[in-house]
Amino acid sequence: MKKTAVSAVSTGCLDYLDIAPENLFIVRCKIIMGGESYDDYVDMDADSFYRAIKSDSDLVPTSSMPSTGEMLETFETIEKAGYEAVIFNTISTALSATYQNAQVARESYEGELEIHLVDTKNAAISEGFLTLEALRLIEAGEAPDTIVPYLERLALSRKQYFMVDNLRLLVKNGRLSGASGFMGRILKIKPILEVNDEGKIVPFERIRTRKRALDRMVELILEDLKTLDHVVLTYDTSDNQEGYEYVRGKIEEVHPDIPAYAAPITPVIGAHTGQGTVGVAYFDLASAKPPK
């Protein structure tokens, strides 16, 4: 089997997990805020970012994806480290053009590295979970030609809901599809959004209070889990620890043994979700048919 690395974008929030595989290479997005540019996590992590936007309600941070040149440099670094292939997982193409930039980089790369691209159709730790699976399967001896189709199936096996405490940044930065149905009551609701099969963030339900929105997400997840046998859960939050602990606690009361991953929403994603978001998702591993 070819010696294989995994490359991921900082949008996958893997920096916040206690992992350090030598074959993982993270490409950084940037946060643009107050006239300055910061490398995601390296120059500004979640704690410092949410403190900044909490202190200035008029602040509108934006983000920029890794350039083609930065991706080419990453491919060169991977090949020089002795790897023959790389699986590069990107944030959903519906949320960013990172995948398209990666395609351009692959087409123009002049080295011998075999480059496999995966649109995870996810963001935050749900995106990161696909990278964790790629790393696990490489360690188990699986080849990229087996891993990539599985990751593509896995991306579509996901169901995700999240509550946004304030839609201001999602709407301002254009990341919420179909927002018009919410706009008349934007200040009076705590909407539940979902990530659909195309990887788009779309409205799901209007909820009037934060507590009811969190309870409704728990209800939706628990209802689905009644019919599923082999799943993994992911949780994320943008500085709403109380809401995150409430949702996770309620689900774990019923399903204490389901594996789960959790991470803060990193600044480059938080620039769009704003502060106060709580998200929960599950992956139906049985339907994705992991390699044996």
Domain hosting 217: range is 158-288
The answer on 150 and 11 residing in a single domain is yes
249: CB partners within 8 A, 6+ apart: none
Output the six-digit token pair for 253: 């009361």
149: CB partners within 8 A, 6+ apart: none
CA distance 98 to 119: 9
Query: Which of 216, 186, 12 has the alpha carbon at shortest distance from 95?
Result: 12
The 10s digit of each residue's pLDDT in 148-190 is 999 999 999 999 999 987 666 666 555 555 544 454 345 567 7
Output the six-digit token pair for 238: 């943008």
Q: What is the pLDDT of residue 171?
A: 62
231: CB partners within 8 A, 6+ apart: 225, 258, 282, 283, 284, 285, 286
* CATH number (domain holding residue 173): 3.30.1180.10
Q: What is the pLDDT of residue 184?
A: 39
Which segments in the chain show pLDDT lower than 70?
166-188
Instruction: Tell if the pTM clears 0.85, that is, is over it.
Output: yes
Amino acid letter at 216?
A: R
Q: What is the pLDDT of residue 176?
A: 53
CA distance 229 to 102: 35
CA distance 99 to 91: 7
Q: What is the pLDDT of residue 112?
A: 98
Chain Cα centroid distance, residue 176: 15
The answer on 226 and 117 residing in a single domain is no
Among residues 131, 156, 181, which one ends one of the domains? 156
Q: What is the pLDDT of residue 206?
A: 86
**Total count of domains within the chain:** 2
Rg (CA), the chain: 19
The answer on 152 and 163 residing in a single domain is no
Amino acid letter at 160?
A: Q
